[in-house]
Amino acid sequence: MKQLFIVAGLFFFVSAYGQNKKSTTEKKSVKEAETTKGHNIAITLTPYKNCWIYLGSYYGKSKLLADSAWLNEKSEGVFKGNEKLTGGIYFVVSPSKKLIEFELLMDDKQHFSITADTTKRDKPIIKGSFDNDLFTAYSKFSGEKGSQLQQIKARLTSATTKEDSTSLKNEYAKIEKELQDYRENIKKKYPNSLLTLLFNVMNRPEAPAIPVVDGKADSAYPYRYVKYHYWDNVDFFDDRILRTPFFDSKVDDYYKYYVSPEADSIIAEVKYMLLSARTGKEIFPYLLIKFTNKYVNPEYMGQDKVFLYLFNEYYSKGDTIYLDAASRKMIFERAYSLMANQIGEPAPPLKLTDTLGVVKSLYDINANYTLVVFWDPHCGHCKHEIPRIDSIYEAKWKGLGMKIYAVYVYNDNVPDWKKFINEKGLQDWTHVYQTQEARDYEIKNNIVGYKQLYDAKVTPTLYLLDDKKRILAKQLTIEQLDNVIKEKNKKTN
């Protein structure tokens, strides 16, 4: 099935803002107050002259342009605007828009100056920004320590004795601790600084040793500890965390390693995160759209329930201003296609006509398992898969009490449909289709068709039902269905 991606209708480019000039006769207090408004960042970037340069920022996994500045003959320019920029990690971009010259922090005080040279990209001089002073000092310290760590790694590969190896590992741990202590000291001394926020977002808790309680090892404790502390001191409503290169990947890792793949567990986490982010102007729509894209066509069966939760809780209640018209249409259509076919719920009733013109009801079939197959004899994939389904059905599934209810998804070539059934020896199945008269009746009376009820947009589409016609599995391969049946039988035997 084609992957769906929802596109936000905003935040893809923040344009440069105009700067209103003040009269020289204004009072000093007004001029001082002006330095706290908007952003005004003077920059000298040699050797660029008579060209545009750009100010960009991270935005989840993406990078955005936030402003532009014209450099004159002296390589001087100003990034300025009447509105403040969202705080976070920013960078100056070359005239070609292809090269990041250097990074800087954008804190709440956005009136400062930069002097830089493209031949010394790691040494910009930033004046008037305390957070950038902290950032520069930390970058210098971490760079020195990082170089030392690399040297130790190289020496470890050539260590010839256990004593040398142990000594180098101890030295490595000592330097890592110095880095950690440096970060902790900044967090303690400057808890409200932007650098502290970045450290909190970057932090990945280390799993502690397995404790022994009453003589028994608690092997799950390290996992619980990391999950419990994973988001320590991170506020999901703070838009600044989105303007970093590591928040988005941290979210991905959290859901991959620390959240059960079952839909209800994911929903609980998504609910908490979105409720916490609700007041964030940028972070809330970003997370909502991120989770929508992730679960609209999920990696694992049954996780589309998360998408339906998002639809019912947000989109159906009016949270659609972040979407363009095509994305809104896609979300609503997809939700309507999934509502009636959730795992564990009763399968939608089917009353269709068989090869002899007799109406056959899905719910009249008495079986331990019912496999509902939506297919077309002219579909290339069906020509290959339908005989394979029959082979495994005859070899294994039939003996487990399975029956097959097979739906021909068109009605335009009934003779070819019957011919395929006879040629492939599929007489043990219940074969049905919807007559044109039945379809016309549905349309006239605004009755939802089975293709929407079963999300049967591609062929073949397979549904496995239990003895009460509840959905056990859907849209899986033959091999995956066989594994589901095996696991189901293990539990019942």
Tens-digit pLDDT profile for residues 7-17? 443 333 333 33
Degrees to nearest 5, angle at CA 294 with 334 and 87: 120
Rounded CA-CA distance 218/211 in Å is 6
Rounded CA-CA distance 172/186 in Å is 22
In 10 A of CB 132, how many CB atoms?
24
- What letter does residue 50 receive in the DSSP assignment? S
Summarised one tens digit per residue, pLDDT across range 354-382 is 999 999 999 999 999 999 999 999 999 99
Query: Which of 4-8, 31-35, 160-164 has the largest mean confidence?
Result: 160-164
Rounded CA-CA distance 406/461 in Å is 10
Supply the mean pLDDT for the chain: 91
Rounded CA-CA distance 69/86 in Å is 18
Q: What single letter denotes the amino acid at residue 275?
A: L
Instruction: Report the Cα 128 to chain-centroid distance in Å.
Output: 37
Instruction: Give residue 21's pLDDT.
Output: 36
472 to 148, 264, 397: CA distances (angstroms): 56, 16, 15
Summarised one tens digit per residue, pLDDT across range 224-270 is 999 999 999 999 999 999 999 999 999 999 999 999 999 999 999 99
The pTM is what? 0.86
Summarised one tens digit per residue, pLDDT across range 82-119 is 999 999 999 999 999 999 999 999 999 999 999 999 99
Average pLDDT estimate for 56-76: 96
Q: How confident is the model at residue 293 (pLDDT cuts 50, 70, 90)?
A: very high
Q: Is the pLDDT of residue 1 over 50?
A: no
Rounded CA-CA distance 381/422 in Å is 18
* Closest alpha carbon to 291 in 277, 281, 279: 277
Instruction: Give residue 493's pLDDT.
Output: 66
Q: Is 336 exposed, middle or buried (0-12, 13-18, 19+ CB in 10 A)?
A: middle
Instruction: Give residue 446's pLDDT.
Output: 95
Q: How confident is the model at residue 320 (pLDDT cuts 50, 70, 90)?
A: confident
Q: E strands of 343-460, at which residues? A: 351-354, 359-361, 369-375, 402-408, 430-433
Q: For the packed helices 194-202 and 130-157, what is the interaxial angle rounded to 10 degrees?
A: 30
Summarised one tens digit per residue, pLDDT across range 156-191 is 888 888 888 999 999 999 999 999 999 999 999 999
Q: Is the pLDDT of residue 448 over 80?
A: yes
Pair 394, 429: CB distance under 8 Å: no
Q: How confident is the model at residue 35 (pLDDT cuts 50, 70, 90)?
A: low
The side-by-side arrangement of strands in the sheet containing 88-93 is: 62-71, 51-59, 88-93, 100-106
In 10 A of CB 44, how many CB atoms?
17
Rounded CA-CA distance 381/9 in Å is 37
DSSP 212-259: EETTEE-TTHHHHHHHHHTTTT--TT-GGGGGSSSHHHHHHHHHHHSS
Average pLDDT estimate for 18-36: 42
Rounded CA-CA distance 425/420 in Å is 8
Rounded CA-CA distance 307/342 in Å is 11
Pairing of strands 39-46, 111-117: parallel
